[in-house]
Amino acid sequence: MEMSEQLKEGSIRLLVLGSGTSTGVPMIGCDCPTCSSNDSRDRRLRASVLLSWMDGVFERNILIDTSTDLRQQSLLYRLKQIDAVLFTHPHADHIHGIDELRSFNFIQHQSIPCYGSSYTLGRIRTMFDYIFTKTQAGGGKPKVTLHEVNGKFTLFGRKVEPLPAMHGDMEVYGFRIGSFAYLTDCNFVPKSTIEKMKGLKLLVLGAVQFKKHATHFSIEEAVELAGTLGADKTYLTHMNHFVKHSKLQKELPKNIYLSFDGMDKLV
Ligand SMILES: [Zn+2]
Ligand SMILES: [Zn+2]
Ligand SMILES: [Zn+2]
């Protein structure tokens, strides 16, 4: 991976693999100004990020969600190693790339630990039952080990704290590691989670479009929440094709930015 800065002990490197909503941007069949834009920041793969941190002498790569575009993301950013996956929720755009973990199994020769709520992992077991049932030899299946989490846990020397929030009536997880947090696909954050999001340096927060949405924060709602949470910097993600990067970025308040595919930051 080509990165702008060196990863040091105690830091987290964030790489945005996808900043788009479930359809991706451009949308199939759409000729709108965003979908036909030449600005690379208007090309959004499905939402996912890669976090890296040092665990002693090892650099660990932790993927949040296995998006529909995981293969393309892995090739684009030359990913060679995935040490763990954190799952936010079981919607198609966040889990449909799970089969691509096979390629990392081929390299790493071991099962990849995956973390999520009991609901999320239950849905993954049902939706991808072929992974978890005995089938004929050949072809190969992803080797993953599911770990249910419902509170803070340690992963490669760092504390990871699930951040429960509501995505319509589905509970999703965001994740906090140190002064970084990632929370997408929600339209309500309970007080107990807001308490867990104090003192952040960098927050990646989901916001789908300008208009109010049944299960996602709108841009306006996300900006308001970002103000309440008060992270040093908040980057919006999971945006649809109504969001033209260059236009909206100019209108956002201080310390609130639009993320884009390929954006990398050290926290
Ligand atoms: Zn989504
Ligand atoms: Zn469009
Ligand atoms: Zn969702």
Mean pLDDT over 230-254 rounds to 97
* Distance from the alpha carbon of residue 265 to the mean position of ligand 1, in angstroms: 22
Sign of CA dihedral 98, 189, 178, 49: positive
Among the bound ligands, the one closest to the CA of 43? 2
Distance of CA 202 to the CA centre of its chain: 14
* Distance from the alpha carbon of residue 193 to the mean position of ligand 1, in angstroms: 20
Residues with CB under 5 A from ligand 3 (ion): 91, 185
- The 10s digit of each residue's pLDDT in 190-240 is 999 999 999 999 999 999 999 999 999 999 999 999 999 999 999 999 999
Q: Is residue 31 part of a domain?
A: no
Number of domains into which the chain is organized: 1
* Distance from the alpha carbon of residue 91 to the mean position of ligand 3, in angstroms: 5
Q: Is residue 8 part of a domain?
A: no
* Distance from the alpha carbon of residue 110 to the mean position of ligand 3, in angstroms: 29
Separation of alpha carbons 102 and 107, rounded Å: 9
Q: Is 186 left (phi over 0), alpha (psi -120 to 50) or beta?
A: beta
- Six token digits for residue 24: 């991706």
160 with 139: CB under 8 angstroms?
A: no
Range of the domain at 60: 13-21+37-257
Mean pLDDT over 104-116 rounds to 97
Q: Which pLDDT score is estimated for 138?
A: 78
* Distance from the alpha carbon of residue 159 to the mean position of ligand 2, in angstroms: 39
CATH of the domain at 240: 3.60.15.10
Phi, psi at residue 47, to the nearest 5°?
-60, 125
Asked whether the predicted pLDDT for residue 3 surpasses 90, the reply is no
Among the bound ligands, the one closest to the CA of 31? 2
* Distance from the alpha carbon of residue 259 to the mean position of ligand 1, in angstroms: 15
Q: Is residue 119 part of a domain?
A: yes
Q: What is the pTM of this model?
A: 0.96
Q: Is residue 27 part of a domain?
A: no
Give the mean pLDDT of the chain. Answer: 96
Asked whether the predicted pLDDT for residue 179 surpasses 60, the reply is yes
Q: How confident is the model at residue 4 (pLDDT cuts 50, 70, 90)?
A: very low
User: Exposed, middle or buried, 33 (CB in 10 Å: 0-12/13-18/19+)?
Assistant: exposed
Q: Which pLDDT score is estimated for 126?
A: 98
Radius of gyration of the chain (CA): 18
Among the bound ligands, the one closest to the CA of 21? 1
Q: Is residue 174 part of a domain?
A: yes
Separation of alpha carbons 137 and 116, rounded Å: 29
Tell me the HSE value of 157 on the side-chain side, using a 13 A CA sphere. 14
Beta bridge partners of 155: 158
Among the bound ligands, the one closest to the CA of 93? 1
Q: Which pLDDT score is estimated for 2?
A: 44
Asked whether the predicted pLDDT for residue 242 surpasses 60, the reply is yes
Q: How confident is the model at residue 5 (pLDDT cuts 50, 70, 90)?
A: low
Asked whether the predicted pLDDT for residue 16 surpasses 60, the reply is yes
Q: Which pLDDT score is estimated for 7?
A: 86
Among the bound ligands, the one closest to the CA of 42? 2
Q: How confident is the model at residue 161 (pLDDT cuts 50, 70, 90)?
A: very high
Q: Which pLDDT score is estimated for 6?
A: 75
Separation of alpha carbons 42 and 209, rounded Å: 13
Greatest CA separation found in the chain? 56
Residue 208: closest CA among 189, 184, 174: 184
Among the bound ligands, the one closest to the CA of 240? 2
Q: Helices then strands (H, E): number in the chain?
A: 8, 14
Asked whether the predicted pLDDT for residue 253 surpasses 90, the reply is yes
Q: Is residue 115 part of a domain?
A: yes
* Distance from the alpha carbon of residue 86 to the mean position of ligand 3, in angstroms: 15
3-state secondary structure of 51: strand
